[in-house]
Chains A and B, each alone.
Chain A
Amino acid sequence: MTSGTVEAAPGVVVLRDRLARFLSQYGVLVALVILLIIALIWTPSFYTPSTMRNTAKQAAIIGIVTIGQFVVLMVRGIDLSIPAVIGFTAVLVAENGPGTVPGLAIALCIAGAVGALNYYLVHRRQVPAFVATFGMFVAVEGARLAYTRGSASGTVDEAIVNLGRASVLGLNVTTWIWIALVAVTWAFLHRTRSGRRMIMVGSNPTMAEYSGIRVGRFILGAFAVSALLACLAGVLLAGSSGYVDRFMGQGSDLDSVTAAFLGGARFAGGQGSIIGAAVGSLLLASLLTVIVLLGWSPQLQLVAKGLVLIAAIALQSSVRSIAR
C-alpha cells in the first residue's frame, strides 16, 4: 500500500499544480490546438480558406445552441428540447410553410412557449429538467409531425438562404452572429450584476434565495434564451443548407451539452466559461472536418469522435481534481 504514495518534491508539486490549473482553465483550448497541429501534419488541406470557413460556420450553428445550453446548465438545468425547436423552426421558414415572415413569427411564439413551459415544469412543478425538456422535445416533434403530415422537405426562401450563406470580411454571417452572441453572453455573465446573480443561482440556489434573488426569473430567462437561440439556429441552419428536411437539428442536444461540458459547465450549475464552450463548439466542428479529411472509414469516424470527446473531458476532469 505504501508503494503508491510516493511524495513528489515540492518544486514538482508546484509545477504540477500550476500545469493542472492551466489545463483546467484552458484544457479545451489545448485540445483544439493539438487537433489543429494534427491537422497541419496529416491533413494540411484543412487550412484552405474554404474549409476553414465551412468549419467555422458549422461551429457557429453548434455554438449558438451551445450558448443556450450553457446558460441552462448554469442554473442547474439541461435543455433537451433544442432539436425539436430547431426542426419546427426550419419547417416553418421553408417555402412550403406559411411564408417567411409569418413562419418566423410563429416559430418565435413556439420558442417562447417552449421556454416558458420548460421553466414552469422545472421550477414551479419541480419536474427534473431532463424529464421535462425531453417530454417537451417529444411534444414539439409530435406537433411538427402533425403540422407537416410527415412531409417536411422543401427549399427555403432566398432571403434566408442569402442570410445563411452571406460572408463579411471573409467569415460567414452565421459565424459573426455567433461571435457577437458569445461576446454579449460573456459580458452579461461577468460584467453585469444580473450575470453574477445568475452564476450564484446556479452555484447555490438556496443561498441565492436567502439573499433575495428571484431565482425563478433567472431560470425562466435561461430556458427562454435557450429556446430562442434554438429558433435562431433553425433559421440559420435552414439558410445554410438551403433545404429543409425532417432531420434538421437532430443531434444538436448532445452536441451542445458536449460543447458546454468542454467549456467547463457541469450539472451542478454555476460553473464553466462561455469562451470555453465556444472553443468546445469549434473543437467539435474541427474534429468532424479533420476526420472527414483524414479519409477514415465511416464506421471509424463515429468511434474516433466519441473517444476523442471522452478523452478531452476525462483529461479536463482529472486535471481539475489535481488542481483542487
Chain B
Amino acid sequence: MKRTRRTRPVLIAATAVVAVVLAGCSSTSSSNESSAPEASSAPVPTASSAPESTSAASAGAEVTLSDPYSTSLAAAATTTVDTTAFKKDAPYKLATITQGPINGWGTIFDLTLNKALADSGKVDMDNILYAAWNGKTENQTKAMDDAIAAGVDGIILTSLSRAGLSASVERATAAGIPVVTCMAGVESPSYTVEVSRNIPAMGYASMKALIDKLGGQGKIVMLHGIAGVDAAEFWKLGAEAALKEAPGIQVVSEQYGNWSTADATDVMRTVVAQQSEIDGVWVGGLEMGPGVVNAFQEAGRDVPFIAGTNPTNGFLKLAKDNSLDFFAAPFPPGAAKACVDVMLQVLDGQSVQKFIDVKDVMDGTAPYGTDQLDTWYVPSLNDDFIGPLVYDEQFYADNGFARK
C-alpha cells in the first residue's frame, strides 16, 4: 500500500503530461491540414449574401451572417415594438446597469449616459438606480432585481453575460418594465429594444477588408481578446466566416492577447520571430494594437496591414505617428446617448425597432480605413478615449481624457 500511495502522484503527473502531449499532437496535425483556424465552440457562420463592397477602403462592407445571434438581430431589425403599454409621464425613474468605469470604454459610456440623461430634462437624476458590473455577473443580476423591486420606469442594461442576464430581463419584462439593452444584449428575446452594433458583422467586415487588401492571398496572424468573453468570441466568429470565403489566406498563428498590450507584445514577439512572412494582422480589439506594432518595430520589420475592431484613440495616434495602413470597425461607447434616446421614445409610447444598429444612427461608427484617420482621431484627447465624439472635446477633457 505504501508504494502505491507514493507512486500515485507520479502516475497522475505522467498521465497529465502524456495527455497534453497527445492533445498537442492531434491539434498540431489538424492545424496543419487546413489553413483555416480551428472552429470555436460556436458554429462558424456563413455570410448569407455577398458583401456590398470588396474594397478595404470602402467603409461599412457588412453582411448578415447565418449564426443564431446574427439571424436573431436581423429578425429584430425588421420587428416593430408597440410601446404604448410603457407610456408614462416624466420625470422618469430609471435604472442604469452598466460595465462600470473600469476602463476607458466603460468610463466614456457612463459619462455619455449620465450627460444624455441629464440633458433630456425628463429623468429624475436624484433617484437613478446605478449599478456597475465590476467583474461579476451577480452584481448585474442583483441590480436587476433591485430595479424591479424599486418599481423603476425603465432599465438601460449593458449585459456582461448574454446567458446570465436573460432570466433577469424576463423578470423585468414580466413586471411591466421596459429593458433597453445597450451595446451588449441577452440571449432571451424578452428585451424591449437592443441598441448595439452587429458584433459578428464587425469581425466579418474587418477580416474581409484584410482579405481584400491582400487580394485573397497571403499569410496572416489573428489576435483575439479574452477567451470565452462574448465580444471576443463574436468578433472571432465573424472573422472566421470571412476566412471561410478566402481559401488563399493562411492563418499562420492564432493567439489570445487578453486585450492587454503586455500580453499582446509577448505573443507577437514570438510569432514575429518565428514567421518570416506575415502579410497582415487581424486584431479582435485594437487596444492590443500597440503590442502588435511594438513587436514588428522591435524586430526591425515593417508593420503589415492591420485590421480589427474597437479602435482606441491610442491606436489611431499610433497609426498616425507611424503611417500605418489599417481598417477598423468601431464599437463606440458614445452609443449610450442613442440608448437614452430610445429609452425616452419607449417611455413616450412611440413605436421603435426591436434592434437598432448604432451605425445607422451615429456618424463614425461604420467601419473605416486609413483614409478616414484624420476624421476620427482626436489629438487633444488621450489614448483611452474611444470615439466618435458625441459631446465636445472639452467635456471629455474635463472628465479625465485630456492628453497631457
Contact = CB atoms under 8 A, between A and B. Distances in A.
Contact of A242 (B28, B271, B290, B400): B290
B382 A153 contact: yes
B37 to A, nearest CB: 8
A57 to B, nearest CB: 9
A289 interface: yes
A154 B314 CA distance: 7
A288 B384 contact: no
Interface of A is mostly: helix
Contacts, number: 183
Contacts of A299: 227
A151 B104 contact: yes
A296 B24 contact: yes
B309 interface: no
B304 interface: no
B204 interface: no
A58 interface: yes
Given A54-B269, A296-B24, A304-B24, A241 B254 contact: no
B13 A315 contact: yes
B262 A247 contact: yes
B219 interface: no
A245 B258 CA distance: 12
B38 A297 contact: yes
B253 A295 contact: yes
Interface residues of A, number: 63
B404 A296 contact: no
Interface in B7-57: 7-10, 12-14, 16-17, 19-21, 23-24, 27-28, 31, 37-38
Interface string A162-183: 0001000000000000000000
Contact of A245 (B23, B101, B261): B261
Given A51-B270, A288-B266, A298-B256, A315 B314 contact: no
Interface string B358-386: 00000000000000000000000011110
Interface stretch (A117-125, A186-194, A208-216, A316-324): A316-324
A230 to B, nearest CB: 14
A301 B256 CA distance: 10
Contacts of A304: 20, 23-24
A246 B103 contact: yes
Contacts of A45: 273-274
Highest count of chain B CB atoms <10 Å: which of A45, A148, A243, A321: A243
Interface string B92-134: 0000000001111011000000000000000000000000000
Interface of B: 1-4, 6-10, 12-14, 16-17, 19-21, 23-24, 27-28, 31, 37-38, 101-104, 106-107, 224, 227, 253-256, 258-263, 265-267, 269-271, 273-274, 287, 290-291, 294, 298-299, 312, 314, 382-385, 399-401, 403-404
